[in-house]
Structure 1
Amino acid sequence: MMKTLITAAALLAGLMLGAAADALQYRQPPDDVRNRYTADEARNAVQSGQVLPALQVIRTVRQRYPQAEVIDAELEQGARPSYIIKILTEDGRRVDVVVDAQSGNILYER
C-alpha cells in the first residue's frame, strides 16, 4: 500500500514538472520586451543611419528637463522606431520621454 502511494506520488510529481517545463518553454515575453532592439540590433541601426545615437537623443531630453537624472534609454522597434528615455525629475517623479529615433523629436511623455 505504501509502496503504491509513493509510486503514485512520484508519478504525479513527474507529470507536474513536465507540464511546468512545457509551459515555461512556450511562454511569450511581455510585449515591451519583445519590441526592444537588442544591443547588436541597436548598434547596427545607428551605424547604418536608420536611427540617431542614444546620446544625441538624451541631449535633447536633457534640454527639456535640465535638472532631471537620466535613468535608462531603450530603443523600441515599430513602424517608426522610438527611444524611451526614463528620467527622474527634480521633484522625484519618474517620467518616460518617448522620442522619435529617426528625427530626434520628442513625441510625448508618460
Structure 2
Amino acid sequence: MPTTTIDGHEIHVNEEGFMTEPGEWTEDLAKSLAAQIGIDLTDEHWKAIRFLRDDYAHEGETATLRRISVVGGIPTKTLFQLFPQKPAKKLAYVAGLPKPHGCV
C-alpha cells in the first residue's frame, strides 16, 4: 500500500489518494486534507465529517450522499455548498475514509 506524508504524518493511501487506514486520521489531519482541496472547515463541515466517520464505524463502508442526507439530516444542497462539485468524494477524502461506492 502506498504512503504519503501530510504535515509530517505518514499515512497509507490508495492510488487515488484516499486514506486506507481510518485509524490514522485525526482532526488536525482533516484540516490539512481540506486545505489541499481548497476547503476551510466550519462547524457545518465538522457535523458532516463526524456523521460520516460514525456511520462508517457502524456500517463498515462510506455512506453515499443520499444516506448522509437522509440519515445524517444534512440536506444535499448544503452538502454541495460545503463540498462543491463532488461532495461525497470530497467529504470522504477529508474524513479519511474510502471513496463511497458509485463515485467516479
In the superposition, the TM-score normalised over structure 1's length comes to: 0.29
Q: Which has the higher contact order (CA 8 A, sep 6+)?
A: 2
Larger Rg over CA atoms: 1
Which protein is richer in helix relative to its size? 2
In the superposition, the TM-score normalised over structure 2's length comes to: 0.30
Which protein is richer in strand relative to its size? 1
